[in-house]
Amino acid sequence: MMGRFIIVLALVLSPIAATAQDQQTLADIRQELTVLFVEVQRLRRELSTTSGPTTSVTGSSVLDRMATIESEMQRLTSKTEELEFRINRIVEDGTNRIGDLEFRLVELEGGDVSKLGEASTLGGAGQTSTPAPAPMQSPETTQLAVAEETDFKRAQEALSAGDFQTAAERFAAFNQTYPGGPLAAGADFGRGEALEGMGDIREAARAYLSSFSLDPNGPVAPEALFRVGRSLASMGQSEDACVTLKEVGARFPQSPSAQAANAQLSALGCN
């Protein structure tokens, strides 16, 4: 889809099109402005996602999975920057082209070309100093946010009351209902706590790892990573536990979880 938009813009910006402008009428210029504006706006929307994630995190150990996650994040960041640069460059070229068309338009209408400012047909492409207005939330979006917070609170209440089975079920249902939401990492962390309370250390470790993977720099990330290490130690996987616990201090040296990890490292006798 992006390729089609790029071809359209390339044709509009080609020297052949520029040569043909000598015979353009006022209506031709207006039409070209409209077509170019629509195509550039569609191209801008290529920066928006419409599908869910397809990355599969695999690995035989915690470190392997963490390395896979970090590698995929670097790849996606690089790809995003590459596409954003390409699209912004095309938008800039389109803005310059529109500026030229507006100049010709004013000439044909007999206006004063000396009063022309920067081209603004692209919706402020050259006016980066003025931030775009925040999108207004629809009633459906507001209702969804309220429902999300309510469901998360209900799961937390079950956890606080010691009803670990209900809490685990509610947190699991939460992430099925609101996948990838702002509370997803907290929900997996809460599910890990509930599973740990039920004595299911293996599944708790997986829940903590999922919480960390969803938001590796978030507020619960240090504690989630520490609990992964602690769970591994409880399951007798001392080597993996030592490596994971050391990672807590390396990533979050100022967090309380790093201190707890250091204490656990000493207790395990990690080198």
Question: Tokens for 223?
Answer: 């504690």
Q: Total domain count for the chain?
A: 2
Report the distance separating Cα 253 and Cα 269, nearest Å.
20
User: Could you tell me if 99 and 164 lie in one domain?
Assistant: no
User: Could you tell me if 179 and 107 lie in one domain?
Assistant: no
In a domain, 119, yes or no: no
74 pLDDT above the threshold of 50: yes
User: Could you tell me if 196 and 93 lie in one domain?
Assistant: no
Distance set, CA 124 to CA 61, 121, 269 (Å): 49, 7, 61
Report the distance separating Cα 99 and Cα 97, nearest Å.
5
Number of Cα atoms under 13 Å in the Cβ half of residue 42: 15
Q: Within the chain, what is the greatest distance between any pair of CA atoms?
A: 85
Contact 188, 155 (CB under 8 A): no
In a domain, 168, yes or no: yes
User: Could you tell me if 84 and 161 lie in one domain?
Assistant: no
Q: What's 23's DSSP letter?
A: G
User: Could you tell me if 103 and 164 lie in one domain?
Assistant: no
- CATH classification of the domain holding 246: 1.25.40.10
Domain range enclosing 230: 156-268
pLDDT, position 138: 45
Last residue of a domain, one of 112, 138, 164: 112
3-state secondary structure of 14: coil
In a domain, 204, yes or no: yes
2 pLDDT above the threshold of 70: no
Report the distance separating Cα 186 and Cα 151, nearest Å.
12
Other residues' Cβ atoms within 10 Å of the Cβ of residue 206: 17
Report the distance separating Cα 211 and Cα 218, nearest Å.
9
Report the distance separating Cα 216 and Cα 207, nearest Å.
14
In a domain, 118, yes or no: no
User: Could you tell me if 100 and 42 lie in one domain?
Assistant: yes
User: Could you tell me if 19 and 101 lie in one domain?
Assistant: yes
Report the distance separating Cα 36 and Cα 102, nearest Å.
12
Contact 104, 68 (CB under 8 A): no
- Average pLDDT, whole number, for the chain? 74
In a domain, 92, yes or no: yes
Overall pTM surpassing 0.75 (yes/no): no
Say which residue, 142 or 30, is predicted with more confidence: 30
The string of pLDDT tens digits covering residues 227-242 is: 999 999 999 888 888 9
The string of pLDDT tens digits covering residues 212-228 is: 988 888 999 999 999 99
